Amino acid sequence: MHLSVLGTQQRICGEAQVPNSKYHAHRALILASLAPGTSRITGLTDARHVHYTVAMLRRLGTRIDVDGGTYVVRGGPYVPTADSISAGSSGTTLYFMAGLAALGSRDVTVTGQKYFQRRPIGPLLTALRQMGVDVDSPTDCPPLRVRAHAPTGGEVHIAGTLSQWISGLLLLAPFATGPTTVVVDGTLNERTYLELTVQMMRQFGLQVEVHQDWHRFEIPPGQQAVPTDVRMPPDIGSAAFGLAAAALHPADLLLRGLTSVTAGGADHPEADFLDIAADMGLPMVYDAGSDAVRVRHDGVRLGPADIDCRLVPDMLPILSVMAACADGESVFRNVEHVRLKESDRVAAMLQLNSMGADVRISGSELRVRGPARLAGADLSSFNDHRVLMSLAVAASAAEGRSTLTYPNAYRISYPEFLEAMNSFGLSMQVEEGRALRRKSPGTRRGHRPAQLTARSIEESAALTGPGWVRRWARERPAETAVVDGRPRDTGHLTWAELDSGADRIAAMLLSLGVQPGDRVAFQLPNWSEFVLLTVAALRIGAVAAPLMPIFREREVAFALHRSRAAVVVVPEEFRGRHYAAELSGILAAGTGTDPGYDLAVRHVVVIGAAAPPLPVRERGVIWHGWEQELAETEVDRDLIDAAAPAPDAPAQLLFTSGTTGEPKGVLHRHSTLSRAAAMEAQQLELDGSDAVFVPSPLAHQTGFLYGMWLSFVLGAPQILQSVWEPERALTMLRGWKGTFVQAATPFLTDLVKAVEAGAAAPASLRIFVNTGAAVPRHLAERATRVLDTAVCGAFGTTETCLGSVSSPGDDPALVWGTDGRLLPGVRARIVSDEGQLLPAGIEGNFELLSPTLFEGYLDRPDLTKEAFTDDGWYRTGDLATLDDAGYLRITGRVRDVINRGGEKIPVAEIEQLLYRHPGVEDVALAAMPDPRLGERACAFVVPATGTDLTLAELIGYLDSYQVSKHYWPEHLELVQAIPRNPVGKVQKFLLRERARELAGDPPGKDRSQA
């Protein structure tokens, strides 16, 4: 069992009632029990260690009743009802009552929970004996044997380490038979707590004379406490956690009952916390109308603090958390006595280092310096309530998911803690929990994957994508399903939230007229809205038709024309591009769009629309605001369920480019996608304890199938990154404990470089499946060493899904530089141009037969027929070899496609556009090797007579046609003629050799071994 905390930078809002002071409650209850008559203590507390004090006093014969919100205490001589009285797990109860138990009418044994048997209290026992208390403990730890006998008084010496020991002596001294002098030796810590003890003793009619330096106390003998009515003030020690949460997040919080924002106006031993927090920059204002303190801001960066822990010792844990989120270095002085609390709290806070902070002990000081943002981690609470709550607050602002041991420790002092934090919008849950997968040596070498069974694959194929979501929403409703890692903030959805959110969007789509089989187009980044919308569209039998965010107007117009989508969803803006405005231009052009497309769009939904107010009608198209439309949508679950698709229904329409000069619409069914994800999961031994990191675009098959859909099949969280930043990726991998990534070579290269530059490697990452092109051998070796991660080669296409992948247990010497081994159930063959089967190791045309093949190209039966052989094998268009061990190596491409970082450039389409440039006589594009992206486009151009062409001019020309910049050539080579064979076909192999020379890569060199 653990406390699971999900970090966020989102705004927290709400209000909470600050509980009553447990410090006042302990002292008031004990003093009332010693005052013959009836005392009324108004202001109950649910703090468990106050309950332990009440329970012990009742065992000593004191009657304590609860009347509404008041303790009614009838005090008088102690008459123990049992031989043994327990302090439970309350150190305060133990320290205060160890001596007072001697005032009873019979001998008693003072005990506590099991771990109290290791808590040394020798200095307190020595001082009690000096006062004349007959107390025995062979180990100077509980249990204690206390004999019934009034103390005799005298001069008592005790170190000033812990105020509770001194308070225990002061509470007992008035009832001694002789005068008592309590002398504090050495440094006095925690004076404010002693001030409270003395103040409350005087309130109950007891005399205490305090010397000016608070090192000497003189107490007359034979006193009797007077019944008193006391009202408990708010507990600043509990309020500190709400205030700290408000400091770490944009906030609008109201803490009711907290009557002051300055130490001088608060009757509490920890009131100095308020001044420290204010000095660090936390904006707190007392709202008299609400009798509450309000914290409202859009995000603050705290300043460092210099704190003397003798004043606020119990505040060190939460203040150190605030310091870890502040600029500069904070210093906590005189921390030695804090190490003697319920745990060594100083050592406990060193765990902030595992979250990315810089915390160190230097003599009697604790120094804290924070990172830009903390990262999630697995932490120990040391079974200490303040450590647990403090680290939970830190985790709430960290990137990722954190876990804490002894999750219920908070109940001893602040039982409302979890309820308050969750009411603010933070996510803290006590879970039995399945721990996320960790790396182990067995996942590297010598460990074979589990045997793939036809039954398990078939069972997986029988569930649709939305069906998987429904399942996990039932079985794991509170577990994380989606992590939305936007650059400035991370949001997250549970399976229950994903399920219900998809229902609402499905209802919206139904209201817009979407029917089963319709295509819903959307051009979205890796946001949670992409996942929600996909599940929603598929849930009502529609087909998801995502468009790559890099697509410009030309590509988008064609995809909308071909898909016949009536509903389109776009963001208002992303990375400086205004997608809604671009789409408006496409729709305005209508059939005039070059080359002239017939569009069926009737509804456009805009995410994040600011103006004009939506919905509006424009040229027959109705524009809607995402947020407004969802807020007004009524969910009819029966209507949604009635439209649910069968597993063999179409699910996905992705547009890819080939050699035909136009994008092709690839259709896949639910069953195919679920089967493909399950096949990889079993090959790589992935399960629900993994966490899938998704930096590849969700609109690309890598992200859609082996990110999002794989997460559905596994019941594992998917961690989305919408803008590629290697350092941010590493932070998310560490914080959310990502175990699996499938992405192209540039992503792997950038992660390796970032770690080599000093960033921390993600400890949980087990597997990186490299797709798009064979990972270069030297990169695989380097990544395995630097990231401590298995790097697996793979081959797949939009049409086939994965056909091959190596496994973490495979011998690296055999797999690095290859495209893996065929998945069980997948067949491959290498054939000559004449269709003859070639032996192992001989290069030829690569053909594939797989249960995960696509249904065909949308509205292009000619292209579909061309893609398959007469006996049903898929022509990949690649040249390859297949060795005796079953390892595949792609050696070249038959089809003329340039692979730029896993994204295929539609060469023929770009060439056709460039041919139209008045300065171009002839043109051909070829792949130029690139160490990071794999390949870039090199344009070989024969310029028109008298024309002096530049690369910038060609790029500007393509930009005018709204061609995605990812498709622009990045090198221009002017030539006198394009090499062609006798029948006029461009000899691209000559151009590729020339491009390798231009890139400094000698022709004939095998780059996979580079």
Reduced to 3 states (helix: H, G, I; strand: E, B; else coil), residue 370 is coil
Q: Supply angle C-alpha 932, 934, 937, rounded to 5.
A: 110
Q: Which residues does the annotation place in the binding site?
A: 22, 27, 91, 119, 163-164, 314, 341, 345, 386
Q: Where are the beta strands (DSSP E) in 258-405?
A: 284-287, 292-297, 306-308, 329-333, 358-362, 365-369, 378-379, 401-404
Whole-number Å distance between alpha carbons of 517 and 520: 9
What angle separates helix 907-915 from helix 951-960, to the nearest 10 degrees? Answer: 100
Angle, helices 316-324 vs 236-248, to 10°: value is 10
Q: Which amino acid is at 733?
A: L
Asked if 222 contacts 10 with a C-beta cutoff of 8 angstroms, the reply is: no
Q: Please tell me the distance from the alpha carbon of residue 772 to that of residue 696, in angstroms, as a whole number.
A: 11
Neighbours of 618 (CB within 10 A): 13
Specify the amino acid at residue 589. A
Contact 598, 591 (CB under 8 A): yes
Tokens of 973: 């080579």
- Residue 540 in contact with residue 512, Cβ under 8 Å? no
Residue 63, beta-bridge partner list:
74
Q: Which residue blocks in 61-145 are alpha helix, DSSP H?
A: 91-100, 122-130
What the block records as the tokens of 408 is: 């219920």
Q: Return the C-alpha torsion angle 627, 633, 639, 640, nearest 10.
A: 10
Distance between CA 251 and CA 300 in Å, rounded? Answer: 10
Starting at the earlier edge strand, list the strands of the sheet with 378-379: 378-379, 401-404, 2-6, 427-431
Query: What is the residue whose two structure tokens read 């290697």?
Result: 726
145, amino acid identity:
R
Nearby residues of 558 by Cβ (< 8 Å), 6 or more positions away: 597, 655, 662, 663
Determine the Cα–Cα distance for residues 419 and 432; give it in Å rounded to an integer.
Answer: 18
Question: Residue 549 half-sphere exposure, CB side, CA atoms within 13 Å?
Answer: 20
Binding-site residues for 3-phosphoshikimate: 22, 27, 163-164, 314, 341
Answer whether 475's CB lies under 8 Å from 719's CB: no
CA distance 426 to 490: 12
279 is catalytic: no
Look up residue 237 and give its amino acid. Answer: G
Q: In this structure, what token pair is assigned to residue 584?
A: 């408006």
CA pair distance 700, 678, nearest whole angstrom: 19
Tally helices (H) and strands (E) across the chain: 31, 51
By C-alpha distance, which of 278, 284, 337, 286 is closest to 303? 278
Closest CA to 305 of 284, 264, 338, 277: 277
Instruction: Spot the catalytic one: 314, 384, 518, 896.
Output: 314
Residues forming the annotated binding site for phosphoenolpyruvate?
22, 91, 119, 164, 345, 386
Residues tagged active-site: 314
